[in-house]
Chain A
Amino acid sequence: MLKVIKNRIEQGHRTSKYPKEPIQLYHRFRGMPKVVKDCPAELVGRCADACPQEAIDRKTRQIDLGRCVFCGLCETLSEGKFVHFSQDFEMGTSCREDLLTLGDLPALAEHSKKHFKKLFGRSLQLRQISAGGCNACEADTNVLNTPFFDLQRFGIQFVASPRHADGIHVTGPISKNMRAAVLSTFEAVPSPKVVIASGACSISGGPFYGSEDVVGDLNSLIPVDLYIPGCPPHPLTTLHALLNYFK
């Protein structure tokens, strides 16, 4: 018992003040990429050729956050002269097209569907479906339940049964062997329901794009309401997206 109390005192109170107070992530963290619009075309071309995810459009110079895995190669190659990564982790969007970006996104809070805010603003229950990814997306979603993030204080919970859920949160490129399970889990959720695609995999196939063994895009199976980019999305990216979209 004494040990329980001693540990309790040592651990103290660790819950983050975000979103009331901003959080600064370490400067090596790769958040929202910022494009230098007027850099030489040759540099853009070199980065576009080298990008493993084919995420760079050489004409518009936009980066597709739905394909990008934030590997940092374009920043290194261009020495920051074409792309540099900011520590801004707020990257959720409600439109697939908005993920094609030069470094700015429309404010998510204004874009969200009004009736979702009314329905789920005070209480949101999500069923997570893991469908063929690498499990890092799941791990960094799970982390939201730890004391530092303490997701439940916002009235958001991940639940065991789809019957208890208001929507699904999907990770992974939807392996063919999970296609049926994704669809039946979605069907088991009572309407109205939301669909969240989390991570490059569920948005575009992520690292596994082009594989015959995956569907590669959740939107082609079920219309997606909220996109959370990253590989994996930082827990704060997910937290920000959930709070702004539903609150």
Chain B
Amino acid sequence: MDNFLQVQNNQRVARADIPDLPFEVFREALLSLAHQGGQVVQFFAYEDRGQNRLLAVMRTDKLYVTGCEVAETYLSLTADSTKFHLFEREIGEQYGIQAEGHPWWKMVRYHPNYAGGTDVFENDYQQEIPGNYPYFTVEGKTVHEVAVGPVHAGIIEPGHFRFQCLGERVFHLEIQLGYQHRGVERLFQTVSANRLPIIAETIAGDTTIGHSLCQSQAIESLAGLTVNKGAKVVRTIALELERIANHIGDLGALSLDVAFNPPAAYFGRIRGEYLNLTQILGGNRFGRGLVRPGGVTQILGEEQEQLISAKLAELTPEVEHVNDLIFSSPTVLARFDQTGTVSHADAEAIGLVGYAGRACGLSYDARVAFPTECYADLPRNKNERTDGDVCSRGTVRREEIRHSTQMINTLLPKRQEEPSVLPQEWQLAPDSFVVSINEAWRGEVSHCILTDAAGKIQRYKVKDPSFHNWTGLALSLRDEGISDFPLCNKSFNLSYCGFDL
């Protein structure tokens, strides 16, 4: 491990302490860690004094950071480990750096690179997306192609899906995103400090708390702000409420996708009840305006504690009953069982995170591995079913609803009426680096900040769990009926905007 610096989650480190390896050594170090089960948390490029550099954060049960200088082209790591595949494409798109020998070299979000240099995908950005990219096709007399999107048949985000089918069987699904790209990372590097929390909250609206926690913790670490116990309780409760609301909404939608309507109607409404609890906490159904560097903007008073705990007591049995209705119905199980399976080995190879990973038997949960806020004092969850299919993803979510409810009930009485944070100015430490990780409802969210000699944000990197998991959805469709796409899709329910940034 000589080639890495071991760091803690949210630990400020001096940039000078991060190893600066020759590229070949860097490459070997990352690959050998990946082959021993290590996963990529962050792997990105940045420009420093006219020179492109790479920085990687890997995790085992610990976190490791390392870096190197990189030329215009380098020998792709993906050829030896698929864990790096999307990261290398992103590096190519953002900084015009070519990964030589990359097996699937295509753009990620479709935008000109930051350096203004030649485009490594030979795109002309005057053309509409997907530009100069021929989709992967399967040829043969009875093979046909189904193209869907970017505008879908519902109130959902845009994305393009290409299915290569034989009859109803899907050989291959290719997913092209980028339609939601709005330049989040670049905004973080250019806007004034007061806009940072607003943009962080809107990286993925359904993960408002997850992303704003990452940003706040990263800033707190770099600016030396301390967060009081009361605020930590509020933050943890808010993150768990976000998890429950999303899981409930998705379980209802899964039920709808197999044409079992009553649970969909019930969970549709009940999801709203949980959003309203977040509104009681912070005045907004998605938790906007609640988490800020230094703490939270509202205290959890006696009134809020009582309202939330009474509502939870009312809702918990209802949720149990509706879940029981879904998971004991033979027609539902017939559709959930062994549909959209991702094997444990594939999940490991592409680095699935969150419930999608846990449903394949990858036990990683950032709340346990790298706990923030109140998580070190709370019990972990156990998963009963880990077959990698729709049923497993559904079951893991059902278990997590219970677990999160217990955590909130444990935390509510621990509330403290310490003053909430007022808007405060902060100064980030110069020449520093921090990586922040939280287990949001979909899985591992991570933000990295690199500051320059003046303490300005030089590079801000965001990773939503969807960045890992979209590949999982594509794999789950292999050899499935195309009519099972909605079901598989909902069981993952990935973020387009979180991926597209």
Contacts and interface: CB of A to CB of B under 8 A. Distances in A.
B497 A135 contact: yes
B199 interface: yes
A214 interface: yes
A178 B158 contact: yes
Nearest to A148: B269
A244 interface: no
Of the listed residues B128, B155, B285, B328, the one surrounded by the most CB atoms of chain A closer than 10 A to its CB is: B155
Contacts of A146: 265, 268-269, 271-272
B388 interface: no
Contact of A213 (B181, B205, B286): B181
A72 to B, nearest CB: 5
A132 B181 contact: yes
A152 interface: no
A26 B280 contact: yes
A136 interface: yes
A236 to B, nearest CB: 11
A11 B153 CA distance: 29
Nearest to A161: B153
A133 interface: yes
B205 A26 contact: no
Nearest to A235: B272
A211 B183 contact: yes
Interface in A109-136: 128-136
Contacts of B179: 131-132, 175, 177-178, 181
A63 to B, nearest CB: 15
A142 B110 contact: no
Contacts of B325: 3-4, 7
Contact of A133 (B283, B322, B497): B497
Nearest to B304: A28
B293 interface: no
Given A4-B325, A8-B262, A76 B206 contact: no
A72 B279 CA distance: 13
B9 to A, nearest CB: 25
Contacts of A50: 194, 423
A134 B262 contact: no
Nearest to B328: A3
Given A7-B266, A70-B284, A158-B155, A135 B205 contact: yes
A60 B73 CA distance: 55
| Interface residues on chain A, size class | 35 or more
A53 B110 CA distance: 27
Interface in B433-477: none
Contact of B182 (A11, A130, A173): A173
Contact of B318 (A10, A185, A231): A10
A66 interface: no
Contacts of A51: 194
A177 B129 contact: yes
A3 B260 CA distance: 13
Contact of A134 (B266, B268, B497): B497
A6 interface: yes
A149 B268 CA distance: 11
A143 interface: yes
A178 B205 contact: no
B111 A213 contact: yes
Interface string A50-78: 11110000000000000001111100110
B140 interface: no
Contacts of A213: 111, 181-183, 186
Contacts of B109: 177
Contacts of B262: 4, 7-8
B205 to A, nearest CB: 3
A164 to B, nearest CB: 11
A173 B205 CA distance: 14
Interface in B212-242: none
Contacts of A69: 198, 288
A214 B179 CA distance: 11
B61 interface: no
B372 interface: no
A181 B150 contact: yes
Contact of A132 (B180, B203, B283): B180
Contacts of A173: 182
Contact of B180 (A158, A175, A207): A175
Of the listed residues A77, A138, A160, A213, the one surrounded by the most CB atoms of chain B closer than 10 A to its CB is: A213
B282 interface: yes
13 contacts: A3-B328, A4-B262, A30-B283, A70-B288, A76-B423, A128-B155, A145-B268, A146-B269, A173-B182, A181-B150, A181-B151, A208-B202, A212-B183
- Shortest 9 CB-CB contacts between residues of A and residues of B: A136-B205, A134-B205, A160-B153, A146-B268, A213-B183, A134-B202, A28-B283, A211-B183, A71-B289
Interface of A: 3-4, 6-8, 10-11, 14, 25-26, 28-30, 50-53, 69-73, 76-77, 85, 128-143, 145-148, 158, 160-161, 172-173, 175-178, 180-181, 185, 206-208, 210-214, 231-232, 234
Given A148-B269, A181-B179, 12 more contacts: A11-B266, A29-B283, A30-B284, A132-B497, A133-B497, A135-B157, A137-B205, A139-B206, A161-B153, A177-B111, A207-B199, A211-B183
